[in-house]
Amino acid sequence: MNQGAAVQGVPAPAEKTEPQPLLTLSGVGKRFGEFSALSDIDIAFNAHQAHCLLGENGAGKSTLCNLVFGIHQPTSGVMRLEDAPYAPANPRDAMGHGVAMVHQHFSLINELPVIDNLLIGKKFGRLNRKAEAEKITALATEFGLDLAPFEIVGDLSVGQRQRIEIVKCLMQRPRLLILDEPTAVLLPEEINSLLDVCRRVAESGCAVVMVTHKLAEIARVADRVTVLRGGRAVAHSAEPSNDMDALVRAMISREGGAGDNRNFGVSALPPRNPAPHRGPRPEAMQIDNLSFVDEIGVKRLDSVTLTITEGEIVGVAGVEGNGQSELGSILAGLSRATSGRWFAAGREMTAAKPRQITAAGVGVIPEDRHLVASIGQLSLADNLQLGRMQRFARYGLIDRKDQREAASTLMQRFDVRAPDSQSAFSTLSGGNQQKAVLARELTTPNLRFLLAAHPTRGLDIGAIEAVYTFIRQAADRNTGVLLISSELDELLAVADRIVVFYRGRIIGERPASSDNRDHIGLLMSGKTP
């Protein structure tokens, strides 16, 4: 693909004179307690260029932005702005150095007009709204931003509000503008005009840093791309539109290359040992034409139809943000589909509450271990029995001894390691927390279907292997499994077949064999071969 085609309809990127590094990061790392969010980052952001940070959730993109904008301070490494050391103590300090940031969440006062929002904190004394509005509108027009200064913010669309935030930053004439996932909240038709704005800002001489995990946007806007993965920069590209396939691979594969997918835990999995079965297998789960429109009107799921039979593991592949989370949330009973229906073991679950879904024999390993799957303040034993304490009740009171014994049994069976079953859940390691969640969900009475959303996220290799061993054992005992993951290699190793999500649709389906790896990778970037 040539460059002209990649940025169709947009002024071509500035001629590639030698780029001048504006901000350089060398060896920058950030730890939060034991957790290393970023390590050893070397990046240069150049003036006149748009630099995209690409990566899955938790890859460290936002942390990197927060370091540059002074919200957090790096625990190692140095940053240099032009030739001076740059160590902003807080956002105000960063702004003083000409660094501005558009956050994912807007900080606007909905009841006030646009112009007031823009001038808050910037003016003293007499306020001449008209004159200011003219000045600001001129500035906005310069960058192709449409602005209605006297509209009330609350009446505007999300895209228009984002424009206000961008203008707010541009008013400071920044040298470096950071946009944290600016397109995540936008309607598809608003995205292109935002990308145009980014290009114009870059051409005006500013360095633009944009976080995204959407490949199509990179092709349109980026001069340079850095792929982050697990807190490290795993790939750089100065010609992103030519390197698209390599970027996809760097983003989704554990070691950055296609060849070495054998050493991350799933290779040591024991072979499947399915229970013998004759004739066609009954359906464990069925999704029928499911769609979901979110509160700002974006269609996140678009007519998804999928059937999983008993004993089958179906993998959901896709770059994050293509509808997988919404599907997981609907199947967990935490949100309701806008249209369409779904069934667990033949029973309709479309409008069911989580309790009814569990009662129908559905186990759920939610995407968010801390917010949805467990309660950190309670003990391990309590989390293992969350929602089924009734089992240990004698005359309404919990038989603690009984409960502890049941917890120890589960801990042994699922290899949950903790000082004892009364330890606070939040003190366990991520792997042990996840194994505990699995222990609970896989022992759901009469389990027929298991939803596992990113079950290995943030886990070490040993824990990953354990998690997948348990999931496959469940499938061997005739449970149907829907496995959502951003780790293509894991899906290939664990699933029977893989469906690929792109923009809320199932764009294709392939048997899970490493021969189909490249094909699936293409599907993930939206290309149907």
Partner 1 sequence: MTDIPQHPPVIRSAVYKDMFGRIAIPIIAVVAAFLVGLIAVMAMGVSLERAISAFINGAFGSAYSISASLNRSVSLALVGIGFVIAARAGLTNVGGEGQIAMGGVFATALCLAPGMAELPFGLSFIIPLVGGAIAGGVWGAIAGFLKVRAGANEVITTLLLSFIAIWLLYWSVQSENLLRQPMTSSATLPESLSIPASTQVPLLTGSYASPVTWGLPLTIVIAIAAAIILSRSVFGFNLKAIGFNPVAAARAGIAVGAGVVTALFVAGALGGLAGAVMLQGEQYSLKAGFCSNYGFDGLVVGLLARNSITGVIAGALLFGFMRSGGISMEMMASVPSALVGIIQGMIVVSIAGAAYFLDRGSAR
Does 382 contact partner 1 by CB under 8 A?
A: yes
Residues 443-453 as b/e (b if ≥16 CB within 10 A, e otherwise) read bbeebbbbbbb
User: Smallest gap, in angstroms, from Cβ of residue 440 to partner 1?
Assistant: 8
**Residue with Cβ nearer partner 1 (62 or 358):** 358
* Candidate list 4, 121, 259, 419; residue touching partner 1; CB under 8 A: 419
User: Smallest gap, in angstroms, from Cβ of residue 294 to partner 1?
Assistant: 18
* Candidate list 112, 258, 268, 398; residue touching partner 1; CB under 8 A: 398
User: Smallest gap, in angstroms, from Cβ of residue 183 to partner 1?
Assistant: 27
Does 31 contact partner 1 by CB under 8 A?
A: no
Please check whether residue 317 is in contact with residue 521, taking contact to mean a CB–CB distance below 8 angstroms.
no
* Candidate list 400, 460, 462, 513; residue touching partner 1; CB under 8 A: 400
Segment lying near partner 1 (by CB under 8 A), choices 65-73, 306-314, 320-328, 392-400: 392-400
Burial label for 38, CB within 10 Å (0-12, 13-18, 19+), is buried
User: Smallest gap, in angstroms, from Cβ of residue 363 to partner 1?
Assistant: 11
* Candidate list 32, 275, 393, 413; residue touching partner 1; CB under 8 A: 393
**Residue with Cβ nearer partner 1 (289 or 422):** 422
Segment lying near partner 1 (by CB under 8 A), choices 126-134, 186-194, 356-364, 410-418: 356-364
Please check whether residue 461 is in contact with residue 264, taking contact to mean a CB–CB distance below 8 angstroms.
yes
Strand arrangement of the beta sheet that strand 283-293 belongs to = 299-309, 283-293, 339-344, 347-348
* Candidate list 32, 336, 375, 511; residue touching partner 1; CB under 8 A: 375
Q: At 424, which helix (H) or strand (E)?
A: none
* Candidate list 22, 201, 218, 364; residue touching partner 1; CB under 8 A: 364
Does 417 contact partner 1 by CB under 8 A?
A: no
Segment lying near partner 1 (by CB under 8 A), choices 115-123, 171-179, 209-217, 393-401: 393-401
* Candidate list 388, 477, 497, 527; residue touching partner 1; CB under 8 A: 388
Does 123 contact partner 1 by CB under 8 A?
A: no
| Residues 6 or more apart in contact with residue 249 via CB below 8 angstroms | 256, 257, 258, 521
Please check whether residue 459 is in contact with residue 467, taking contact to mean a CB–CB distance below 8 angstroms.
yes
User: Smallest gap, in angstroms, from Cβ of residue 383 to partner 1?
Assistant: 9
Phi, psi of 429, deg, nearest 5: -70, 160
User: Smallest gap, in angstroms, from Cβ of residue 16 to partner 1?
Assistant: 49
User: Smallest gap, in angstroms, from Cβ of residue 379 to partner 1?
Assistant: 9
3-state class (DSSP) for residue 256: coil
Does 397 contact partner 1 by CB under 8 A?
A: yes
* Candidate list 78, 120, 138, 371; residue touching partner 1; CB under 8 A: 371
In angstroms and rounded to an integer, the radius of gyration of the C-alpha atoms of the chain is 25
- What is the Cα–Cα distance from 217 to 350, expressed in whole angstroms? 34
- What is the Cα–Cα distance from 482 to 23, expressed in whole angstroms? 44
Q: At 370, which helix (H) or strand (E)?
A: none
Q: Which amino acid, residue 179?
A: L
**Residue with Cβ nearer partner 1 (336 or 355):** 355
Q: At 446, which helix (H) or strand (E)?
A: none
Residues 390-429 as b/e (b if ≥16 CB within 10 A, e otherwise) read eebeeeeeeeeeebbebbeebbeebbbebeebeeebeebe
Token readout for 63 is 């942390």
Segment lying near partner 1 (by CB under 8 A), choices 204-212, 286-294, 310-318, 357-365: 357-365
For residue 104, the cross-strand partners are none
Does 274 contact partner 1 by CB under 8 A?
A: no
* Candidate list 389, 417, 462, 513; residue touching partner 1; CB under 8 A: 389
Please check whether residue 366 is in contact with residue 332, taking contact to mean a CB–CB distance below 8 angstroms.
yes
**Residue with Cβ nearer partner 1 (324 or 358):** 358
Does 426 contact partner 1 by CB under 8 A?
A: no
Token readout for 64 is 């990197």
Residues 307-346 that bind partner 1 (CB under 8 A): 332-334
- Angle between helix axes 129-142 and 158-170 (nearest 10 degrees) is 100
Beta strand extents in 400-464 (DSSP E only):
449-453
Residue ranges binding partner 1 (CB under 8 A)? 332-334, 353-355, 358-359, 364, 366, 371-378, 382, 386-390, 392-393, 396-398, 400, 419-420, 422, 440
